[in-house]
Amino acid sequence: MSDTLYERLGGRAAVDAAVDIFYRNVLSDDRIAHFFDTVDMDEQIAKQKAFLTVAFGGPNDYDGKDLAEAHAHMDLTDEHFDAVAEALVGALEELDVPQEQIDEVVAVAESTRPAVLGRLEE
Amino acid sequence: MHEVVFEDIRYAAEEGESVLETLQRHGVEVPNSCRSGVCQSCMLQAVDGDVPERASRPLRPGQREEGYFLPCVCRPDADIEVTRPGDALSEAPAVILSREQLSETVVRVILRLEASVDAPIRAGQFINLQREDGLTRSYSVAGPANPVDELELHIRRVEGGRMSSWLCDNDVTGERVRIRGPAGECVWRPEYRDRPIVLMGVGTGLAPLVGIVRAAIAGGQRERMVLLHGGATPERLYMVDELHRLSGESAVLDYIPCVLDGRGSQIREAPIDEVFLDACPDPSSHLVFVCGDPDLVATLKRCAFLGGAASRDIFSDPFVTADP
């Protein structure tokens, strides 16, 4: 039986390695930095680890409704979502993750786009 | 089968159940989100009993030591007593030994503990100081290097501040108080000996940093430490001569006081974040300690992080001001 994507990426260690690079990318991108700017950094890092765990296909209990609720009232657009995805891809590239696995992560992240942007069917 | 004790009530747990599941099943509200040990929304503190390693592994060392854990992934096989974070501090009586004016607005107070609190207090952490009438304020421990039965606190006299004016304006020597704590992650550890360290503070944010520096020097720090103390004007700084002397005597400590308006003094005139970038052009392997005004702490943390310091190597103690 093949390992899950999360296991192939390296599990928690991969999340720990990626989170700083990912979060620096986010803070350096004017399209999205302001969403993350005002919050306590330690709290943000924990949230970004949660996000990366989801994107890496790791264990979590979030469903579409949770994601929609968490991102409601932020007026998020496809551009915002794309910017975060770019930050994620950039971090994985910097860590020399094979392109195949990067594509898998992008696919998992993509699957959350409707929920995050509040486009779930009622 | 074990029990989870929370706020003096014993809750029977089912086998294999997480502490979060046990509490929620009995109607106790605990914030939670991912239920997988990642988001940390559910964090509680264990005051008695063993926490399986899995439930505290994602947390920072300081948090683990204080008993913090994640109940959503905590499946104990024996009784455990838990509280909401921060409720688990222990108390001890203390007496004020001395009071010394360090600047026009800052006073050094030395206390003697008359009993020990449960967890050893470490220089750089903070305690709650409670007056006989119940008035309580938090102060950082500036020393000594190993504060076993004495604590040094730095008090800034705040306009209209009840605690600070009591301590600064009166001869409080001999007054009895109570200490609750400790808390805070800004401490030196022996494993930091060969890591470069940068410490940045404004106002009495200097207090925990001095504590860390003292502990580091006493503990045999080998790598360079840079201590930056910032203020609006020279009047807002203190211990300048004492710290110049300490850094002169120490092979590892560099001390840089800085002000926004030098008013003709010799003190370097520059904002503290600029001084930081100049003193530490590559902080990627540094441990970073930031203390003082919350907005400035947030700015400096971000500055260090974007400059390359690892998030897990950045420790902070933002001084949130109580209503006077």
Closest listed residue to residue B145, CA positions, set B120, B117, B114, B178: B120
Q: What is the ipTM of this complex?
A: 0.88
Return the axis-axis angle of helices A41-55 and A11-27, rounded to nearest 10°: 120
Handedness of CA B115, B119, B123, B124 (dihedral sign): negative
Residues contacting residue A34 through CB under 8 Å, at least 6 positions apart: none
Q: Contact at 8 Å (CB) between B247 and B254?
A: yes
pTM score over 0.90: no
Q: Closest CB to B34: pick one of A20, A27, A62.
A: A62
H/E element holding A101? Answer: helix A99-110
Closest listed residue to residue B232, CA positions, set B276, B272, B264: B272
Specify the DSSP class assigned to residue B138.
E
pLDDT in tens, A74-113: 999 999 999 999 999 999 999 999 999 999 999 999 999 9
Tell me whether A3 touches chain B (CB under 8 Å).
Answer: no
CB < 8 Å to A40, chain B? 298
First-to-last alpha carbon distance for chain A, in angstroms, is 37
How far is the C-alpha of A100 from the C-alpha of A97, rounded, in Å? 8
Cis geometry, peptide bond prior to residue B271 (ω within 30 degrees of 0): no
pLDDT in tens, B262-285: 998 899 999 999 999 999 999 999
Handedness of CA A42, A43, A44, A49 (dihedral sign): positive
CB < 8 Å to B58, chain A? 12, 49
How far is the C-alpha of B10 from the C-alpha of A118, rounded, in Å? 42
Percent of chain A with pLDDT over 90: 57
Q: Closest CB to A41: pick one of B33, B39, B302.
A: B302
Residues contacting residue B196 through CB under 8 Å, at least 6 positions apart: B223, B224, B225, B226, B280, B285, B286, B287
CB < 8 Å to B296, chain A? none
| Residue A119 φ/ψ, nearest 5 degrees | -110, 25
CB < 8 Å to B312, chain A? 16
CB < 8 Å to A27, chain B? 302, 305-306
- How many Cα atoms sit within 13 Å of A24 on the Cβ side? 19
Please determine, for residue A61, whether its predicted confidence score (pLDDT) is greater than 80: no
With CB atoms and an 8 Å threshold, state whether B35 touches A61.
Answer: yes
pLDDT in tens, B181-200: 898 999 999 999 999 999 99
Give the closest-approach CA distance of A71 to chain B in angstroms. 14
Tell me whether B33 touches chain A (CB under 8 Å).
Answer: yes
Give residue for tokens 């940093």: B209
Selection from A56-70, B112-126, B221-235 with the highest mean pLDDT: B221-235
A 45-74: CB under 8 A from B:
45-47, 49-50, 53, 58-62, 66
Specify the DSSP class assigned to residue B156.
E
* Bigger pLDDT: B228 vs B116: B228
Give the closest-approach CA distance of B289 to chain A in angstroms. 13
Q: Six-digit token pair at B8?
A: 């003096």
- How many Cα atoms sit within 13 Å of B58 on the Cβ side? 28
With CB atoms and an 8 Å threshold, state whether B306 touches A61.
Answer: no
